[in-house]
Chain A
Amino acid sequence: MSEQTLKRVDLIFGEYSNVKYKVLADTLKRSNEEILKDLLDSGLRGRGGAGFPTAMKWKYTAETPSDERFVICNADEGEPGTFKDREILLRVPRKVFSGMAICGKVIGAKKGYMYLRGEYRFMIPELMKELEIYNDHAKMLGHDFEIEIRLGSGAYICGEESALFESMEGGRGEPRNKPPYPTISGFMKKPTVINNVETFVNVMMIMRLGPEQYKKLGTTDSRGSKVFSVSGDTPIPGIYELELGMSLDRFVDEFGDGDTKAVQVGGASGFCVPRKKFKETVIGFEGVPTGGSMMIFNSSRSMYNVLHNYLEFFEEESCGQCTPCRVGCQQLRKGIVAVKKGEKKAVYLDQLMKLSESMKLTAKCGLGQSVANSFSSIVNNFKEEMIY
């Protein structure tokens, strides 16, 4: 990755300090209360997409009585159009391990796991090298927190936190009922903090810069910067670290090819924003949240095909346990095909919209609940493409 792909902010991919694990060493000297306060003040929200306040997650987990707790780094980056964790792990794995180790201290965990996407198997030799360095330093620093890498097997659903626990425990990757939440009962039914790769890096950055400095980036609702995976019809695809809270308009000016018709924000489970809404759309938790994926489509693209592709993906990647997701995805995909072919009248789309709403309300986990995001935003904004 060349320098020119990095724009505006250079926090996450910034250079390491000369002393290995210096920030970790410094942070370990601080009290848990101080660390949590800094995290809270920083306004950091989870970078996986859902945006839960990180400090609260850690606090709840620390407060749950238990003999054992775990830290898990969710590196099962499976969302279509997202490839930022891959870049982070390739370039700054030390920061990720540091963040995990800090979390281990705060919540009182002795063991951390990185659940790595099966397709990222190729990274393991490099990651193991860094892990050895980490483990040596942890020992030196007297920090009893060991990190292990676990490999996924390629199921998208295993990025859902409770399905990830099931997978790690040797079960079928199926989401659990919530409550209980991972802060109470996670991996091995023990209180667990599970955070995205990027979240841990942000923790580490906050520890280094202090919350005030960190807060200068972003907006009230969306603090800090974010690593974006930009793909699709853009002359400059790649990884970009940008400030949160920008308008989509500005984003497209920068990255579009001049003929941008729509941007899919947040991957297949995110929202499709059409050109006419670029101006009013803010990228961040107050507007359209994203785990980092920005897919740009120009006027040569059929949004019907785009949607069909997403639905095909969900149809296959649903774990299949809950009715709305398993059958709903099949019905949505086959439904738009039937409308396109004229086997069903155009009004059938309204029926499907209602179905997607029911899926959002009743599906067991985030996968089934979020299918409606892309479905309704594409069907609503590009209805004529669905019919003709």
Chain B
Amino acid sequence: MSKKINLTIDGIKVSVDEGMTILEAARTLNIHIPTLCYHEDLCVAGNCRVCVVEQEKVKNLPASCAMPVAEGMIIHTNSMKVRMARKHIVELLLSEHNADCTKCYKNGNCELQGLASQMLTGDHLFLDLVPDKNYTIDMFNTAIVKDDSRCIRCQRCVRTCEELQSVSALGVAYKGDKMKISTFFEHPLFEVVCTNCGQCVNRCPTGALIERNYIDQVWDAIYDPTKHVVVQTAPAVRIALGEALGLAPGKIVTGKMVAALKRLGFDSVLDTDFTADLTIIEEGHELLTRLKGALVDKDPTVALPMATSCSPGWIKFIEHTFPEYLANLSTCKSPQQMFGALAKTYYAQKRKIDPKNIVSVSIMPCTAKKFEANRPEMRSSGYKDVDYVLTTRELGIMIKQAGLEFEGLPEEKFDSFMGASTGAAVIFGSTGGVMEAALRTVYEVVTGREVPFDGLNIVPVRGTEGEIREATIRIEKVKPEWSFLEGVDLNCVVANGLANAKKVMQNVKDGKANYHFIEIMACPGGCLGGGGQPIPTNKDIRSKRKSAIYEEDMGMPIRKSHENPEVAAIYEEFLEKPLGHKSHELLHTHYTPRKRY
């Protein structure tokens, strides 16, 4: 039991835990103090000063986000002084801000705009400083656009990049009136260590950091009668899209999402889950091959531990930060890119469509996927494998544009083929999911039996947000052809958030860990907390999405990747065998080292 502190807020006596801030204490009383720089996922900055309150017997107005409660404090959150100060602060921010709201992507979803309308800042108390500023827009990146003229210097992005991701692509440069959020020597984002994870985009209160949107290009493709537009949807989209359309967090909207996509005019609505299952088959066999190489053939060139390669933010991170471990990455492309390559080959052949007329669109919880789709490595079909990547948020916008009343849509099913899913594929959306899905398959391949966990739920590898989870799975009573794995303890580690990824890789580098298999997801909580997910995303919302994902897994008739009937079919009709010639050509790739700034 922690100590209780008694204080009075707006005349109400309250007793809260020691260490709480005034802001948090007020929220327990349903008093909502406005904030801008504050974000539950991040350390307290206390720099916007919008959350100031009046404390009796204290001259200044403390920032409630940074001020811990103290015994006997008497706080006023809405006094005349406080209201005046807050209005001044918002007016000051507006005077530095390009408040051309109708031209802003975040129009209607901007925290500064929200405060401005709350405070009725119509009187323009101060001079407009924008014309004197030399604001620049970095539009050179395929995933993220950074518009300094919309920036309010709250530094949420800086803290996100440093604390959650340990990337520090964004930092503060200059001081005083010239202070700005910048990159290494003000290089454009595409030239620096930015992983495009989009966590900053998800936390930016204004339109200073946004995803580069491809909504119009996708509409154009849909309207073009000569084009056949296929769309794939990632596992983590179906449990979050509802939030972008006004539903409560944690609602599974798979069927409505499919119905919406069909009404938007996509010619074929397919599922990334299909290639997630395919990834498991390929990656599982790759792991087994590497283990055999290391344990039986004693081949020193075999790179172990093997790390997952589904998360494009993680890929770019390792390219920059641990390039010497690139060989340890699974050579499997991400499910998105496997899908893209197959859409313009396998799908095109089967549907007898010229691949040049196929436009491949993906809906992702991710901004890094936009970058990934534009990688030069991702053209193995002879075309750009995935043409356009939309975030969950962009799909939300398209659905609104089309005037679809989302909640009232019927539940529809994915088209076939490349639309079949399993529970194993669904859990790709959560930290630990790829590991669990892989183990469900690998264990069965090796032993002929299901993983020895109740209801196939390999709880020990289910990651926890912000934590590194290690687990050891003993492989016993193997089939004869896998005898070298008898009694082997498979050491797994699961990490989410690049700060944790860095710790894992540093342990590997320092020889402190003896892992076989590493799962890394660049974003907190995995894809469900991706940079392309609806705003806001925070701890509570992520935990609701996570419950939804595992609920969806439990509800699936098939829960193991190798039992996906369409996966079996594609090996029979097209790929022949896991890690076969065609697989290598279409589904696998290698990455390149990058510089460290």
Residues of A within 8 A of B (CB): 155, 157, 172, 174, 177, 179, 314-324, 326-331, 334-335, 338, 344, 351, 354-355, 358, 360-364, 369
Contact = CB atoms under 8 A, between A and B. Distances in A.
B512 interface: no
Contact of A355 (B63, B88, B179): B88
A316 B177 CA distance: 6
B175 A155 contact: yes
Contact of A358 (B48, B84, B176): B84
Contact of B88 (A157, A334, A354, A364): A354
Contact of A323 (B48, B67, B68, B127): B48
Interface stretch (B90-98, B211-219, B380-388, B513-521): B90-98
A324 to B, nearest CB: 6
Contacts of B174: 320
A324 B49 contact: yes
19 contacts: A177-B63, A177-B66, A179-B67, A315-B176, A320-B177, A323-B89, A323-B92, A323-B93, A327-B95, A328-B88, A328-B92, A331-B95, A331-B129, A334-B127, A354-B84, A358-B88, A360-B60, A361-B59, A361-B61
Which interface residue of B85, B153, B172 has the most chain A CB atoms within 10 A?
B85
A157 B172 CA distance: 15
Interface residues of B, number: 38
B178 interface: yes
Which interface residue of A317, A321, A355 has the most chain B CB atoms within 10 A?
A321
Contact of A334 (B50, B129, B172): B129
B125 interface: yes
A364 B63 contact: yes
A362 B85 contact: yes
A167 to B, nearest CB: 12
A320 B153 contact: yes
Contacts of B459: none
Which interface residue of B44, B61, B175 has the most chain A CB atoms within 10 A?
B175
Interface string B28-71: 00000000000000001111111010000001110100111000
Contacts of B61: 361-362
Given A360-B60, A364-B46, A355 B127 contact: no
Contacts of B45: 321
B126 interface: yes
B155 interface: yes
B60 A361 contact: yes
A311 to B, nearest CB: 11
A172 B89 CA distance: 24
B81 interface: yes
A321 B60 contact: no
Contact of A327 (B50, B59, B66, B129): B129
A320 B175 contact: yes
A331 B92 contact: yes
A177 B88 contact: no
Interface in B146-204: 152-153, 155, 172, 174-179
B48 A322 contact: yes
Given A321-B153, A324-B49, 13 more contacts: A155-B175, A177-B66, A316-B177, A316-B178, A319-B179, A323-B48, A326-B153, A326-B176, A338-B127, A361-B52, A363-B49, A364-B49, A364-B63
Interface in B223-278: none
Contacts of A331: 92, 95, 126-127, 129
Given A324-B89, A335-B126, A361 B81 contact: yes
Q: Which 6 A-B pairs have the closest CB atoms?
A: A320-B179, A327-B92, A177-B66, A358-B88, A321-B47, A177-B46
A358 B46 CA distance: 16
A24 B28 CA distance: 54
Nearest to A318: B176
A335 B127 CA distance: 7
A328 B176 CA distance: 10
Nearest to A361: B61
B175 to A, nearest CB: 5
Given A320-B172, A322-B49, A363-B49, A330 B60 contact: no
A315 B92 contact: no
Contacts of A322: 46-49
Contact of A362 (B44, B49, B175, B177): B49
Contacts of B48: 322-323
Which interface residue of A179, A351, A358, A360 has the most chain B CB atoms within 10 A?
A358
B65 to A, nearest CB: 9
B125 A317 contact: no
B60 A369 contact: yes
A316 B176 contact: yes
Contacts of B177: 315-316, 318, 320, 326, 329-330
A345 to B, nearest CB: 13
Nearest to B96: A327
Contacts of A326: 96, 153, 176-177, 179
A318 to B, nearest CB: 5
Contacts of A315: 176-177
Contacts of B81: 361
Nearest to A359: B88
A326 B175 CA distance: 9
A88 B172 CA distance: 35
Contacts of B176: 314-320, 326, 329
A274 B177 CA distance: 30
Contacts of B153: 320-321, 323, 326
A153 to B, nearest CB: 11
A323 B63 CA distance: 12
A328 B49 CA distance: 12
Given A361-B61, A362-B49, A319 B129 contact: no
B175 A317 contact: yes
A358 B85 contact: yes
Contacts of B126: 331, 335, 351, 355
Nearest to B66: A177
Contacts of B66: 177
Contacts of B92: 323-324, 327-328, 331, 355
Nearest to A326: B179
Contacts of B50: 323
Contacts of B52: 361-362
Contacts of A157: 175
A338 B250 CA distance: 53
Given A177-B44, A331-B95, A358-B88, A172 B172 contact: yes
Contacts of A362: 49, 52, 60-61, 63, 85, 88-89
